[in-house]
Amino acid sequence: MRKTLIAGNWKMNLNRAQAIALATDLKGEFSTEKKVDLAICPPFVYLDAVSTVLNGTSISLGAQDMYFEKEGAFTGEISGAMLGDMGCHHVILGHSERRHILGETDPVINKKVHAALALGLKPILCVGELLEEREAGKTQAVVRRQMEGSLKDVSAAQMEEIVIAYEPVWAIGTGKVATSQQAQSVHADLRMMIEACYNPAVAGKVRIQYGGSVKPSNAGELLSLPDVDGALVGGASLKAEDFLGIVAAAPAT
Ligand code: PEP
């Protein structure tokens, strides 16, 4: 049985005091009895402060990106070891904003996936199509290319450590959410791709999150789909009430 994973991507939002306050509110309200796993991914500069707040709780800390090199002359970059040092367990890789605004490619994301795995960090690997790609009937081809490129040379044992986030780009931050049919269809395709590349056992274990304008009012329906194992949440993760409303809407797993 795959346990639902709800992860909050705070992106480039909040100041230090707000980040601490949000993490404190989540810590106060989220009980370890909850039926879901919870992770939050603050900006790099607040990881340390948020890590201190989350210490001793079951809420996992994640980062929004990392660089693939171990250390050295890479001005502005953050290594996986640094994230581990901050108490991170997860790292979002290949988010569409990094792919489309910052020009990140599948080969670069693949290097990051390997670097994260080597350090024991669990990648949340994002894939998803642009609106014009969906309208041209290319959704399956696009996510297949992203999966194959980003997961090159990943072993079956490593694959079990990875979370996939299907995030249609046209649904991110737009208020437009994929229909249940659209989400389930791509999630099922992704699981079949994992099965074809690895085996049914691995495909049965990998969690596939949906991301794109998830909020408390639509989370229940999305999270009850057979191949949707959680949500990667942007805007609605910035308010404890909304984020916890998504957690509350998740069916028991
Ligand atoms: C995201 O950025 O991963 C995301 C899904 O954002 P939003 O929930 O705001 O659409």
For 183-216, the pLDDT digits (tens) are 999 999 999 999 999 999 999 999 999 999 999 9
For 43-58, the pLDDT digits (tens) are 999 999 999 999 999 9
Q: Round to whole Å and give the CA distance between 207 and 230.
A: 7
CB within 8 Å of 91: residues ≥ 6 apart: 62, 63, 64, 65, 66, 80, 83, 112, 116, 121, 122, 123, 124
Q: Report the nearest-CA residue for atom 6 of ligand 1.
A: 234
Please, is 28 exposed, middle or buried when counting C-beta atoms within 10 Å of its C-beta (0-12, 13-18, 19+)? exposed
Q: Round to whole Å and give the CA distance between 6 and 37.
A: 6
Active site residue 95: yes
Domains of the chain, residue spans: 5-249
Residue 172 alpha carbon, nearest atom of ligand 1: 10
In contact, 54 and 79? CB cutoff 8 Å = no
pTM surpassing 0.85?
Answer: yes
Active site residue 133: no
Residue 233 alpha carbon, nearest atom of ligand 1: 8
The class that CATH gives domain 5-249 is alpha beta
Q: Which residue has the tokens 């780009």?
A: 169
